[in-house]
Amino acid sequence: MKTASLAALLLSTALCATSYGWQAESDAPKQPIEFNHKLHSAGGKQSCTTCHAETESGELVDIPDVPKCMSCHNSIAPRTSAEQKLAAFAKQNRDADWVRVYQIPTFVRFSHRQHAQAGTQCDVCHGPVATRTSLRREKQLSMGECMTCHRENNASIECGSCHEPR
């Protein structure tokens, strides 16, 4: 029985590694509004948490909605097509349906808060987002990558640390 369970776990891990792995630049998802992370974070203008706040539980971080964007952009005349589109979305009281770049499998428990409290910087998992004009998945979100990082940082590698008990 244990051999079959282990084989199933290894197979699902391999499938997830390909499903949730690296994307070529041409695979960057088309977003409803072109957002330039480099422009917003160059020279330390804004940190990741300025726009991506932790949810109440701290497990996830928010993808900003249009009102969050407009909290800064209300005072900026829309010059670019992206800024004009944002202003139009705000005027229509419509949200941008952002396409997720990273998503972990549902059977994995992950806490952004726990990783942030341990001192893990966002770019460890998400890549050098602050230098990008468009985002694509460039880091592997595989069990192997996570285990390597946990070992390097003396974090738990017990199955129950990241996976729901069966």
147 within domain boundaries: yes
87 within domain boundaries: no
Could you report the per-residue pLDDT of 11-40, keeping only the tens digit for each?
Answer: 444 444 444 444 454 588 999 999 999 999
12 within domain boundaries: no
Domain count for the chain, please give it. 1
Q: Find the domain containing 113 and state its range.
A: 26-63+98-162
Could you report the per-residue pLDDT of 55-107, keeping only the tens digit for each?
Answer: 878 788 889 999 999 999 999 899 999 999 999 999 999 999 999 998 888 88
103 within domain boundaries: yes
45 within domain boundaries: yes
Main-chain dihedrals φ then ψ at residue 163, nearest 5 degrees: -115, 145
pTM of the model: 0.74
79 within domain boundaries: no
